[in-house]
Homo-oligomer: A and B are copies of this chain.
Amino acid sequence: MPEQTEFPISPVPPKGAVQRLSLYLRELRKSASEGRDRISSTRLGKLLDLKPAQVRKDLSYLGQAGQPGVGYVCQDLIGLIQRTLGTDRKWPVALVGCGKIGQALLGYGGFDPQGFQIVAAFDSDPDIVGTAHGALTVQDVDQVADSIRRQGIRLAIVAVPADAAQATADRLVLAGIEGILNFAPVVLVLPKTVRVVAVDLAIGLEQLVFGVVRQLENG
């Protein structure tokens, strides 16, 4: 077969555009909360350090998003982006690994406003299992599959040590998890049907060093 038949609707947003949609959303929420009801691509670009054309191109993947001569209506755009990203509903999330990072995530207040809620937490360490964090009690990781099925969880955060990450992820996939946010410093190799987003703390610093060193020798 030469090609996949394609929905005629949207020409598939590039990967980078999807990331920026999240940034637009955040900025739009802020602007809206400050009482602004319309915004232009130029202004949005200034706030996010992007060229206006980039903003318009990204938003054009949403279909009709703005009005020529007027700009974008903040509330409408917020709704449109949320529907596109799939965050126009609540997403329960499982947390696996409740060490330092996992516990920080349990206490992190930034998830709820975006519709994400950690509804179950797991660890393999007997000293950690059974401890309470807010409303949640850490369960043994052996119960993760049950919990995922029972609570209809589709997303998981992996915050276990590096050497346990791949096995943990395999297990989650087997239990039906469709997306993993990975904090372990390992590249997870998983079926292409499972989405993975990596958050790597040390690598961020390495990228920074490269840029800083480059900055000096080059212009």
Cβ contact of A202, chosen from B114, B155, B178, B193, cutoff 8 A: B114
A212–B154 contact, CB under 8 A? yes
A83 closest partner in B (C-beta): B213
CA distance A207 to B199 in the complex (A): 12
B49–A210 contact, CB under 8 A? no
A111–B205 contact, CB under 8 A? yes
Q: Which of A71-79, A84-92, A142-150 contacts B (4 or more CB under 8 A)?
A: A84-92
Residues of B within 8 Å of A91, CB to CB, are 205, 209
Binary B-proximity of A4-27 (CB < 8 A = 1, otherwise 0): 100100000000001101110111
Q: Is A167 an interface residue (CB 8 A)?
A: no
Q: Which of A35-43, A52-60, A99-107, A123-131 contacts B (4 or more CB under 8 A)?
A: A99-107
A187–B111 contact, CB under 8 A? no
B114–A108 contact, CB under 8 A? no
CA distance A105 to B199 in the complex (A): 13
Q: Is A136 an interface residue (CB 8 A)?
A: no
A93 closest partner in B (C-beta): B205
A199 closest partner in B (C-beta): B204
Residues of B within 8 Å of A21, CB to CB, are 206, 210
A193 closest partner in B (C-beta): B215
Residues of B within 8 Å of A121, CB to CB, are none
CA distance A166 to B168 in the complex (A): 37
Find residues 153-197 in chain A having any chain B CB closer than 8 Å to their own CB: 154-155, 178-181, 185-187, 189, 193, 195, 197
Name the distance in Å between A41's Cβ and chain B's nearest Cβ.
15
B187–A49 contact, CB under 8 A? yes
Q: Is A132 an interface residue (CB 8 A)?
A: no
Closest 3 CB pairs of A and B: A104-B104, A195-B211, A86-B213
